[in-house]
Structure 1
Amino acid sequence: MENVLLKVDGKIAEVTINRPKALNALNSQTLRELGEVINKLTEDEEIKVVIITGAGEKAFVAGADITEMQSLNAIEGRKLARLAQKVFSAIETMPQIVIAAVNGYALGGGCELAMACDIRFASANAKFGQPEVTLGIIPGFAGTQRLPRLVGRGVAKELIIGGDMINAEEAYRINLANKIYNLEELLPKTREFAEKVLSRGTLAVSFAKTAINNGMNMDTESAYNYEADLFGLCFATEDQKEGMKAFIEKRKAEFKGC
Structure 2
Amino acid sequence: MNVTLSRSGDVAVISLNRPEAMNALNAEMIDRIGTLIDEAAASSPRALLFVGAGGKAFCAGADIRELLERGAGAHRDAARSGQCTFAKLDRLPFPSLAVIQGVALGGGLELAMACTYRIAVAGARFGLPEIKLGLIPGYGGTQRLPALIGKARAIEMIASGRLVETDEAAQIGLIHQVVEAGDSIDLGVRFLDRLGEPFPAAMRMARTAVEKALSVSLEEGLSLEADLFVAATQTTDATEGMRAFLEKRKPAFTGR
Q: TM-score range by the shorter chain?
A: over 0.9
Query: Residue type matched to 2:160 in 1?
Result: G
Over 3 Å counting, the alpha-carbon distance change for 1:217 and 1:42 in structure 2 is farther
Query: Residue type matched to 2:163 in 1?
Result: M
Q: Residues 51 and 58 of structure 2 are in contact (CA less than 8 Å); yes or no, is this contact kept in structure 1?
A: yes
Residue 150 of structure 1 is matched in structure 2 by: 148
Distance 1:175 1:228 in 2: 27
Query: Residue type matched to 1:207 in 2?
Result: M
Query: Residue type matched to 2:207 in 1?
Result: K
1:221 CA drift (Å): 1.0
Root-mean-square deviation (CA, aligned residues, Å) is: 1.6
Instruction: Give the gaps of 5 or more residues in structure 2.
Output: none
Over 3 Å counting, the alpha-carbon distance change for 1:198 and 1:10 in structure 2 is farther
Q: Residues 6 and 37 of structure 1 are in contact (CA less than 8 Å); yes or no, is this contact kept in structure 2?
A: yes
Residue 257 (str. 1) matches residue 231 (str. 2): no
Query: Residue type matched to 2:128 in 1?
Result: Q
Residue 174 of structure 2 is matched in structure 1 by: 176
1:170 CA drift (Å): 1.1
CA deviation string 1:174-208 (max 9, x = no partner): 11011001221654332023235563452122221
Comparing 75-84 and 189-198, the one that deviates more: 189-198
Instruction: Give the gaps of 5 or more residues in structure 1.
Output: none
CA deviation string 1:105-133 (max 9, x = no partner): 10011111111111110111211001101
Query: Residue type matched to 1:202 in 2?
Result: P
Q: Residues 6 and 13 of structure 1 are in contact (CA less than 8 Å); yes or no, is this contact kept in structure 2?
A: yes
Residue 73 (str. 1) matches residue 71 (str. 2): yes
What is the TM-score normalised by the length of structure 2?
0.94
Query: Residue type matched to 2:247 in 1?
Result: E
Match of 1:101 among 99, 102, 106: 99
Distance 2:207 2:219 in 1: 18
Query: Residue type matched to 1:20 in 2?
Result: P
Distance 2:175 2:91 in 1: 19
The within-5 A match list for 1:90-239 is 90-184=88-182, 187-196=185-194, 199-239=197-237
Query: Residue type matched to 1:18 in 2?
Result: N
Query: Residue type matched to 2:60 in 1?
Result: A
Residue 17 of structure 1 is matched in structure 2 by: 16
SS of equivalent to 1:6: strand
Query: Residue type matched to 1:172 in 2?
Result: A
Residue 5 of structure 1 is matched in structure 2 by: 4
Moved over 6 A (4+): none
Query: Residue type matched to 2:249 in 1?
Result: R
